[in-house]
Amino acid sequence: MKIVLAYSGGLDTSVAIRWLKEKYNAEIICYTSNIGQTEDVKKLKEKAIKTGAKKLYFDDLRQKFVDEYIIPTLKASALYQDKYPLATALSRPLIVEGMVKVAKKEKADAIAHGCTGKGNDQVRFELTTRYLAPELKVIAPVREWEFKSREEEIGYAKKHNIPVPVTKAKPYSIDWNLWGISIECGKLEDPWNEPPEDAYQITVSPERAPSKPEYITIGFEKGAPVSLNGKKMETIKIIEKLTEIGGKNGVGRIDMVEDRLVGIKSREIYEAPAAVILHTAHNELEKLVFSRDLFEFKKIVSQRYSQLVYFGQWFSHIKDCLDAFVEESQRFVTGEVRLKLYKGNCIISGRKSPYSLYSETLATYTEKDVFDHKAAKGFLEIFGLPSKLEGLRDK
């Protein structure tokens, strides 16, 4: 038997190499990708092999992540439960795409992941695998094995000469990529506790942010960010720059209690400066160029879209349909938004577009006003008719 394992180099997936090998009498191929976190590939490879893997594949998936996952989700304004920009959720189907390719090349029988039985990530891994390669078996060692605690796992690792990460056990579980960081566990498990400062990895607290605001301007073309402060830039660069500028100004911290697919409520904190800034700016530009109907209707699409992503249904016909709607909706989402970043706040300070529906001569209260005030009388006669009929009846 041959198994492709999603490998991070941490304790769980290191132990998984050995455990899978024994339990399934299998050859283990490790798979790791770069989706924005820095990794020493050479060291990782050595470690995987030393732990018992046959080989390790490493893909740089950053560009694909941005083009095929991040930007469509931004255009869709998809925020799970109105807050979470979905960084972790988006990365899972992307990783599985890579793993399935390797599995086919290696003629593997199964893929394996290190997710637990009560999280969302197992769902994303397995739904994507079922869609892309239904012939592959999926194995989830962490759901199956006998270890009841981290200590037992470490014991097993020591017994089998598996290098245990030397760093002192981190109090948090952290998942990190280009679009954001997800942080759980430790003190965060009590939702009444304010997140300790050491939980945050890339943002400063508002208190420690500069006391002078920083202005930035983001340019969009058909819903996608294309420039920063007037300079054309690759999307990936824009995301990296905004992560840095936002983080430095304390922007992008999200603290929420969310509903997992399995029904558990979990307290999660996120750091996603680029996602927060880009969603804020993008949404503002839509307000300028969308009709009222489109703006309201798209909210329904956004909400459904975010659920599909969160629930692991990235590859589904319904999502394709929503993507088609979203893509068309972005036809006029071109223009610029200026923002003020200040002590954790991301404040809109200006917006413009060649496709703006805003008309100053209609909106103004000065002598430039061209609105026909008299026409309102007839409008209200008719628009007010249902109110009049109901009022009469209710009397």
Per CB under 6 A, the segment of 100-108, 182-190, 213-221, 358-366 that binds ligand ARG is: 182-190
Query: Is residue 330 close enough to count as binding ligand ARG by CB under 6 A?
Result: no
**Nearest of 355, 350, 200, 225 to residue 282 by alpha carbon:** 225
**Nearest of 232, 244, 307, 302 to residue 277 by alpha carbon:** 244
Instruction: Tell me which of 106, 175, 214, 284 binds ligand ARG, using CB under 6 A.
Output: 175
Instruction: Tell me which of 76, 89, 111, 285 binds ligand ARG, using CB under 6 A.
Output: 89
Q: Would residue 292 show up in a list of annotated catalytic residues for this protein?
A: no
Nearer to ligand ARG, 116 or 359 (CB): 116
Nearer to ligand ARG, 125 or 290 (CB): 125
SS3 label, residue 182: strand
- Note whether 55 and 31 are within 8 A (CB): no
Query: Is residue 106 close enough to count as binding ligand ARG by CB under 6 A?
Result: no
Work out how close the CB of 10 gets to ligand ARG at its nearest, in angstroms, rounded to a whole number.
Answer: 10
Cα–Cα distance, 85 to 97 (Å, whole number) = 21
Alpha helices in 3-64 (DSSP H): 11-24, 41-51, 62-64
Query: Is residue 188 close enough to count as binding ligand ARG by CB under 6 A?
Result: no
Nearer to ligand ARG, 83 or 338 (CB): 83
Query: Is residue 182 close enough to count as binding ligand ARG by CB under 6 A?
Result: yes
Q: 69 CB contacts (<8 Å, ≥6 apart)?
A: 90, 91, 93, 94
Query: Is residue 302 close enough to count as binding ligand ARG by CB under 6 A?
Result: no
- Residue 192 CB coordination number (10 Å): 5
Instruction: Give CA separation, 186 vs 9, 195, 237, in Å.
Output: 21, 10, 33
Q: Would residue 372 show up in a list of annotated catalytic residues for this protein?
A: no
Q: Would residue 124 show up in a list of annotated catalytic residues for this protein?
A: no
Per CB under 6 A, the segment of 13-21, 174-182, 236-244, 362-370 that binds ligand ARG is: 174-182
Q: Among 33, 59, 121, 253, which one carries the catalytic annotation?
A: 121
Structure letter (DSSP) for residue 221: E
Q: Would residue 255 show up in a list of annotated catalytic residues for this protein?
A: no
Query: Is residue 126 close enough to count as binding ligand ARG by CB under 6 A?
Result: no
Query: Is residue 88 close enough to count as binding ligand ARG by CB under 6 A?
Result: yes
- Residue 243 CB coordination number (10 Å): 25
Catalytic residues: 12, 92, 121, 173
Q: Site residues (CB under 6 A) for ligand ARG?
A: 88-89, 120, 173-175, 182-184, 268
